[in-house]
Amino acid sequence: MSGKSNPIFFAITWTTVCLAFPSVNFAATIFVGESAGAALYEFQSDGSKQTLASPGPIKALASDSSGDVFMSLFGGDIYKRSVSGTESLFAGVSGGGLAIDSNGNLFSAATNIYEITPNGEVSTFVTGNFDDSTVYQAGLAFNSLGDLFSADSTYGNIYKFSAGGTRTVFATGFLPWALAFDAEGDLFASQYNGGLIYRIQADGQRSLFTTIVDPDGVAIGGLAFDSLGNLFVADGSGGKVYEVAPDGGQQVFASGLGNASSVAVQSATPEPATFVLILFSLFATISIRRISAFRRVPISGNAGTKW
């Protein structure tokens, strides 16, 4: 005898999920100064170039958080180029390397190191007469703690200055020129001739990071990092700017620049994120219930039990 068949029930649930992923664009503007043709070049991250007017041959560049660019000229004087493009004399001091501290004060080095407030007031931070020897300080850079580092290209030292001006020797053994700190706090220093770029850790340990090789010769006048950790290198001999990745891989970013004496990177921060929405459905659960599909009942008789 057959039992009664009950229906089979399916319970299906769908869940719709919407995820938002930020699509981030890193915008960087790279400024390159030329000492031979008295030009200031403005590059975008994609390599597009605009030639800007320059008040004279440029020795060094620096940019602040407001987007202003400072130019140290051969022969003296520091000019300021505002975001709007207006150029004006900022300070009448002779400068080599330039660096800006967290308060917006500009530091300029040649023999002495000068501190220049945002209003243009000049004071001497330290003199260049170290240990009864006059040194020429080519490059400057600040670390995240506010210590100032200078490259002594005369005797081959890198000096570290506290906020109060106390000096110690941070590294030695080569002739440094340009300086720049990466986001990890390591100092990168170039040797002017030979294309050598060193990485110096916080404890002063030095290692070779990369070597720029060019058949026209290499004279590294400037170093600057973008927010992605790429190092831009201004080569005065070859008239090129190199882009060096964090792993040391390098490529020519720009060429045909005459004498690329200096480089500065500006606004290398993420633009407001554009969110990409991805809509999809997740099959969450399938449940199947079957209740007593077939039930067999035993029947007793003389012949035995039957089904």
Q: Over the range 199-227, which residues count as b (16 or more CB within 10 Å of their CB) and which as e?
A: bbeeeeebeebbebebeeebbbbbbbbbe
Evaluate whether 78 touches 119 at the Cβ level (below 8 Å): no
Question: Could you tell me the CA-to-CA distances from 296 to 86, 156, 292, 300, 304 in Å, in that order?
Answer: 98, 100, 10, 13, 16
Please choose, from the candidates 58, 50, 114, the residue with its C-alpha nearest in 3D space to the C-alpha of residue 234: 58
> What's the mean per-residue pLDDT of the chain?
81
Question: Which residues, at least 6 apart from 302, have a Cβ–Cβ distance to it below 8 Å?
Answer: none
Question: Could you tell me the CA-to-CA distances from 210 to 180, 194, 206 in Å, in that order?
Answer: 14, 11, 12
pLDDT, one tens digit per residue, over 140-153 is: 999 999 999 999 88
**What confidence tier does 124 reach under pLDDT thresholds 50, 70, 90?**
very high
Counting residues of the chain whose pLDDT is more than 70, the rounded percentage is: 76
Give the residue, 207 or 17, on which the prediction is more confident: 207
In whole angstroms, what is the distance from residue 29 CA to residue 264 CA?
Answer: 8
Residue 136: what pLDDT?
78
SS3 75: coil
Task: Look at residue 267 and tell me whether its pLDDT is greater than 70.
Answer: no
Q: What is the mean pLDDT of residues 83-87?
A: 90
**What confidence tier does 258 reach under pLDDT thresholds 50, 70, 90?**
confident
Tokens 């906020």 sit on residue: 163
Residue 271: what pLDDT?
47
Q: What is the mean pLDDT of residues 89-111?
A: 91
Evaluate whether 235 touches 260 at the Cβ level (below 8 Å): yes
pTM recorded for the entire structure = 0.78
pLDDT, one tens digit per residue, over 186-207 is: 999 999 888 999 999 999 999 9
**What confidence tier does 128 reach under pLDDT thresholds 50, 70, 90?**
confident
Give the residue, 292 or 217, on which the prediction is more confident: 217
Domains present along the chain, CATH in parentheses: 25-270 (2.130.10.10)
Task: Look at residue 306 and tell me whether its pLDDT is greater than 90.
Answer: no
Residue 130: what pLDDT?
66
Tokens 């090789």 sit on residue: 213
Class of residue 182 by CB neighbours under 10 A (exposed 0-12, middle 13-18, buried 19+): middle
Residue 26: what pLDDT?
55
Evaluate whether 250 touches 243 at the Cβ level (below 8 Å): yes
**What confidence tier does 23 reach under pLDDT thresholds 50, 70, 90?**
very low
Residue 149: what pLDDT?
97
Q: In what order do the strands lie in the sheet with 87-91?
A: 58-63, 69-73, 78-81, 87-91
In whole angstroms, what is the distance from residue 296 CA to residue 225 CA?
Answer: 82
In whole angstroms, what is the distance from residue 140 CA to residue 222 CA?
Answer: 10
In whole angstroms, what is the distance from residue 29 CA to residue 64 CA?
Answer: 12
In whole angstroms, what is the distance from residue 101 CA to residue 80 CA?
Answer: 16
Please choose, from the candidates 172, 251, 254, 261, the residue with its C-alpha nearest in 3D space to the C-alpha of residue 210: 251
